[in-house]
Structure 1
Amino acid sequence: MSLEHFGRVLVVAPHPDDEILGCGGTIARLAQAGHEVEVCLVTRGQPPAFSPEGVEQVLCEMERAHAHVGVLACHRLDLPAAGLEMVPAAELNAALAKVVSQVRPDTLMLPFLGDIHRDHQLAFLGAMVAARPRDNHAPSRILCYETLSETNWYAPPVTPAFVPNMFIDISQTLETKLEAFAMFASQVKSFPDERSPRTIECLARLRGSCVHLEAAEAFMMIREIVRS
């Protein structure tokens, strides 16, 4: 299947690097094919939990990584990182709705509801509210990506499990994804930590092998609207 029908794409990232971990290879492939891919960064680290210097460093790293994979623009909501549950739901929903309305994406890529991090869960819920199909501009498709150290660390027997039903070939862009993540020097860990380049590559190879590809990123299709 061609990615031509993906159209304009908006990726919702709770924190810097989630979008690269979850769908960096797909972003690079879409950008190379001429698609407009934008990112909505939901949170920003706030003192005293996060130092201003550390926050600026990771944002600079993100900008470099975005340029590397071909992100067209990044919309920063600057809501408190690791504290999104303190933001009124109406405020979060409205902030996400404003970006969705501005970008008018054909395809919306979201973190998974079953991620262990509360920020991820709330970003998913807020984006789903923003993407309600109340007019012809609602996203035609909504996908959830998986984020290493978030998607697989909750409690699948009693919480939603990530069961992918879409796989996107990133055989030609896996190296671009790995290079982009390496630009997050403050976030890169050594193997066997899950946020290591080796683990990221292993997951891509595993997901690819599941569908007889060299490498892939896995998604859960939440909704697709086939318009006339």
Structure 2
Amino acid sequence: MIDWSRQRLLILAPHPDDETLGCGGLMHKAKAAGAEVHVQFLTVGDTADNSAAGFSSAHERYTEIKRVADHFRWDGWDIAFPGDEYHLKLDRLPRFDLVNTIERTSPLSVGALRPTVVCAPHRSSYNQDHQVTAEAAHTALRPSDRRSRYHPPLVLAYEEAADQWHYEAVTSPDLLVELSEHDIGAKTSAMRLYGTQTHEHPHTRSELTLRSLAVLRGMQGGTALAEGFHTMRSLA
């Protein structure tokens, strides 16, 4: 069993809302237990969408982040590459820049924060920003000598409902974190605060989708609700 009260979590989110979609329940559970929670966003900018306006602005997205940060009581958050130059274009950045940001140059880098738990997106996402964030995290958290370079003991890849849209079979999560009704309620409430990103069902970011995935993962662990993660490193 993981004692969440003793943890310092670093969530790597390609865009604002990914941290909530993948880890909203865990963030609430850990914070309630006494953990620190920090969120490193990679990018944010104006986004074309299917709303009446046809896009959500970076200003709207920043306002939403602040509301969600207060909701979850994050201990810190940062955006590494803000602006339309990078948003949905992270695959154009040199991999070295992304890796270096995660590993050492960001205020919330692994080297600066020394988290005990790091959560990154899963590589199976169809979104190019998610894919390169996952690969950069994989490199930044690579094995080496712990005496000369900090190693977070627990490294996890979180899932989003759309990750299953993949031409290759995606393995099931091997770590299930049990959630309470309060945890899943906090997660869905946070997604409502991301008003530009929330959609009616059927949609991968609908409230029913989030709850349904939590019910499925809970059933797999013999409990009512859970979030699923893929373990990249677990050092006891």
Provide TM-score, normalisation by structure 1: 0.90
Query: 1:15-34 to 2 correspondence within 5 Å?
Result: 15-34=15-34
1:73-125 deviations in Å (ceiling 9; x for gaps):
11210251210111011111111112111111111101001111111111111
Q: CA deviation at 1:154?
A: 2.1
Match in the other structure for 2:8: 8
Structure 2 CA distance for aligned equivalents of residues 59 and 78 of structure 1: 13
Cα distance 1:27–1:213, how it changes in 2: closer, same or farther (>3 A)?
same
Contact 2:46 2:57 in 1 (8 A): no
Structure 2 CA distance for aligned equivalents of residues 85 and 68 of structure 1: 31
Query: Runs ≥4 in structure 1, deviation > 4 angstroms?
Result: 46-49
Match in the other structure for 1:89: 95
**Is 2:36 aligned against 1:36?**
yes
Match in the other structure for 1:207: 217
Structure 2 CA distance for aligned equivalents of residues 3 and 206 of structure 1: 24
1:33-73 deviations in Å (ceiling 9; x for gaps):
11111011011226999x99711111211221122122211
Structure 2 CA distance for aligned equivalents of residues 107 and 53 of structure 1: 32
- Give 1:152's match in structure 2, choosing from 150, 157, 164: 164
Superposed CA RMSD in Å reads 2.1
Structure 1 CA distance for aligned equivalents of residues 124 and 65 of structure 2: 24
- Give 1:73's match in structure 2, choosing from 72, 76, 94: 76
Match in the other structure for 2:125: 115
1:153-181 deviations in Å (ceiling 9; x for gaps):
22224xxx142111001123111111111
Instruction: Specify the code of the residue in structure 1 equivalent to 2:155.
Output: I
Provide TM-score, normalisation by structure 2: 0.87
SS in 1 for 2:57: helix
Once the two structures are overlaid, the 10-residue window that deviates more, 193-202 or 25-34, is 193-202
Match in the other structure for 1:62: 65
1:110-157 deviations in Å (ceiling 9; x for gaps):
1001111111111111112222243352111110111123x1222224
Cα distance 1:6–1:131, how it changes in 2: closer, same or farther (>3 A)?
farther
Figure out how many residues of one structure are paired with residues of the other and give that number. Answer: 221
* Percentage of matched positions with identical amino acids: 28
Structure 2, gaps ≥5 residues long: none
Instruction: Specify the code of the residue in structure 1 equivalent to 2:44.
Output: R
Contact 1:114 1:162 in 2 (8 A): no
Once the two structures are overlaid, the 10-residue window that deviates more, 54-63 or 5-14, is 5-14
**Is 2:145 aligned against 1:132?**
no
Contact 1:113 1:125 in 2 (8 A): yes
Q: CA deviation at 1:3?
A: 2.9
Instruction: Specify the code of the residue in structure 1 equivalent to 2:211.
Output: E
Contact 1:27 1:70 in 2 (8 A): no
Match in the other structure for 1:190: 200
Q: CA deviation at 1:18?
A: 0.3
Structure 2 CA distance for aligned equivalents of residues 47 and 216 of structure 1: 30
Contact 1:11 1:19 in 2 (8 A): yes
Cα distance 1:46–1:199, how it changes in 2: closer, same or farther (>3 A)?
closer
Contact 1:133 1:139 in 2 (8 A): no
SS in 1 for 2:223: coil
